[in-house]
Amino acid sequence: MAVEEVYLRPDDYELETLARNIGDLPFWSGLLKRERPTRVLEIGCGCGRLTLPLARLGAERGFSITGLEIEPAMLQRAREHARDESPATQRALRLTQGDARDLECAPRPRDGTAGAHPFDVILMPYGVAHHFISSDEQLSVWRGARRWLRAGGLLAVDVVAPDLERLARGLGARTPRRRDLEVSHSGRTLSRTIATRYCAASQVERLTFDYSIAEADGQRRDYRSAFAMRVYFPRELELLFHATGFSVERMLGSYAGEPYTAQAPLLLTLGRAI
């Protein structure tokens, strides 16, 4: 899997996410409060944007959270942030490098503390699942999640809902480049443009981002970061859950908890391990 250039630059990635005003933390916090887990796994924890506040919640409510991240630069930034947390939050937190596609074959713990299925909840937030391009990759990730969940445990997967009108604009030819983001913070400014192309046969949308960074000292940096994104459709996602040992509990269309509809911006699926 090719590495997106922006993932090698945590300063830029964090500035980018700051601009997006994602607003998903209350949803994930509320979900964990309702589930009352003992152990939580977050797949694709990045720089710890969600992992650290959820670890604070875990310190208060008696659960631990493991953040799994494949990119070393992102994981290192999460560890740097974790040093500023309280001792209780640090005890509730584990950050580890790894690939979710390897969970299916990863050895189970043998020390008796976690049992055969150590996690009660597995989160796959903020579009992490879009990185799993092929059906084999998807099946490996979902089967791995099932293997590491106790029976009755929850797998929550958050992807961007398919926007057919937007996808159609990139069918057959790359869309014209447009500016889609600009943000300034602490003297730094990040500008981003995007062009896309969609292949309906593979359900893969290829997004090419061009970044322009103005540093506080006046220096400028420009680079390109490409993203191959698997597009998920609701019945396909439902079938993926069913085929890997889950029942689908709910499909939501937003972080406010509304049911998924064709107009929803998100496709947030909650599945129970059978």
User: Are residues 91 and 14 both part of a single domain?
Assistant: yes
User: Are residues 214 and 236 both part of a single domain?
Assistant: no
Look at residue 103 in the predicted model and tell me its pLDDT: 86
Instruction: Provide block-wise average pLDDT over 10 residues at a time, the chain (274 residues).
Output: 86 93 96 98 98 98 97 97 98 96 71 62 97 96 96 97 96 95 95 97 97 95 96 97 98 97 96 97
Q: Which helix (DSSP H) or strand (DSSP E) does residue 119 occupy?
A: strand 119-124
CATH number at residue 191: 2.20.25.110
Number of domains the chain is built from: 2
User: Are residues 237 and 265 both part of a single domain?
Assistant: yes
Look at residue 111 in the predicted model and tell me its pLDDT: 42
User: Are residues 40 and 124 both part of a single domain?
Assistant: yes
Nearest CA to 185 out of 53, 19, 46, 23 is that of 19
pTM for the full predicted model: 0.94
Q: Are 268 and 252 in contact (CB under 8 A)?
A: yes
User: Are residues 137 and 196 both part of a single domain?
Assistant: no
Q: Residue 204: which domain range?
A: 164-230
User: Are residues 124 and 171 both part of a single domain?
Assistant: no
- Give the end-to-end CA distance of the chain in Å, rounded to a whole number: 31
User: Are residues 25 and 135 both part of a single domain?
Assistant: yes
The residue whose two tokens read 């926007």 is 163
Q: Are 219 and 212 in contact (CB under 8 A)?
A: no
Query: What value does the CA radius of gyration of the chain take, rounded to a whole number of Å?
Result: 19
Nearest CA to 126 out of 262, 255, 236 is that of 255
Angle at which helix 25-35 crosses helix 51-61, to 10 degrees, equals: 30
CATH number at residue 249: 3.40.50.150
User: Are residues 245 and 260 both part of a single domain?
Assistant: yes
User: Are residues 109 and 182 both part of a single domain?
Assistant: no
Burial class (CB in 10 A: 0-12, 13-18, 19+), 188: middle
User: Are residues 144 and 26 both part of a single domain?
Assistant: yes
Pick the last residue of a domain from 212, 230, 248.
Answer: 230
d(CA 91, CA 55): 9
User: Are residues 197 and 247 both part of a single domain?
Assistant: no
d(CA 49, CA 17): 9
Nearest CA to 192 out of 176, 203, 180, 184 is that of 180
User: Are residues 268 and 212 both part of a single domain?
Assistant: no
Q: Are 185 and 218 in contact (CB under 8 A)?
A: no
